[in-house]
Amino acid sequence: MPNSLHALRTSVAALAESVAALDDEDLGRPAYPSEWSVADTLSHLGSGAVIMTRALEAALAGEAIADDFMTSVWDEWNAKSPGAQAADLVVADRAFLAALESVSQADAARVRIPMDDLDFPTLVQHRLDEHVLHSWDVRVAFEPAAELLPAVVPAVLHGLGWAAGRSGKPIPDERTVIVHTFDPASTLRLELGPDAVIIEPEPRPDPHLYELHLGAEALVRLVYGRLDADHTPPGVGGTADLDELRSIFTGF
């Protein structure tokens, strides 16, 4: 779990600072995707924080969560005003971060979240990934050229294999794309095909395969369905078909 908690702390602080500057009109703006408003996005993060805080507490105590707990939390947050959704997100976000940071190494080893069969490192990674991408969904509503926070990109990149497997759509023909990133520099192998989409390290690039060159933060947004033509930064190139990759990674 390389620096995942530290990266999450950075993302939580940055989002709280952004939220403090928003008024009611801002909260009503379309986020990314446009089906959600900024307030909707913050509500999603806030309700998720409440649910996962309780899930962590239950896992540590050896308790079960009531079957209707998640629904009750969603109903409560959906009923809040946009202003309350924003303010309460900051509170819930900080509370979940504090709960994660308070878990001892011994307790972390025994954490299992039944709803997704998550161990503690995966729980932190998933919250980090969700938090970073949804924070971008909010920021881009006000800054069209917004990118992911540089300080959190390496930690999010660490969990990209899971995201690619979940978000990537199978294609009829098998092909391999060698991905070269910068900031930070890395070389990855993207395997596309009818059965699965896989990202894994590739120390020996093959010049005969398709290649993609882009920033690491742009690769993260590509895999999460957030690298449409209007939000693609300079420096993306290579022989791979970027439009095809966009059609494979439509987000989740």
The CATH number of the domain where 141 resides is what? 1.20.120.450
Picking from 119, 134, 154, the residue at the C-terminal end of a domain is 154
The residue segments making up the domain with residue 79 are: 4-154
Whether 150 and 48 share a structural domain: yes
Whether 134 and 201 share a structural domain: no
Whether 131 and 186 share a structural domain: no
Picking from 154, 185, 214, the residue at the C-terminal end of a domain is 154
* Residue 168 β-bridge partners: 249
Question: At 169, which CATH number?
Answer: 3.30.1050.10
Q: Residue 13 belongs to what H/E stretch?
A: helix 4-20
Q: What is the pLDDT of residue 1?
A: 45
Picking from 154, 169, 186, the residue at the C-terminal end of a domain is 154
- Alpha helices per DSSP H over 62-112: 69-78, 82-101, 105-108
AA letter at 15: L
Whether 103 and 122 share a structural domain: yes
Domain count, the chain: 2
In the sheet that 198-201 helps form, which strands lie side by side, from edge to edge? Answer: 198-201, 186-192, 175-182, 210-215
- One pLDDT digit (tens) per residue for the chain, 252 residues: 448 999 999 999 999 999 999 999 999 999 998 999 999 999 999 999 999 999 999 999 999 999 999 999 999 999 999 999 999 999 999 999 999 999 999 999 999 998 878 999 999 999 999 999 999 999 999 999 999 999 999 999 988 998 998 889 999 988 899 999 999 999 999 999 998 899 988 766 666 689 999 999 999 999 999 999 999 999 999 999 999 999 999 988
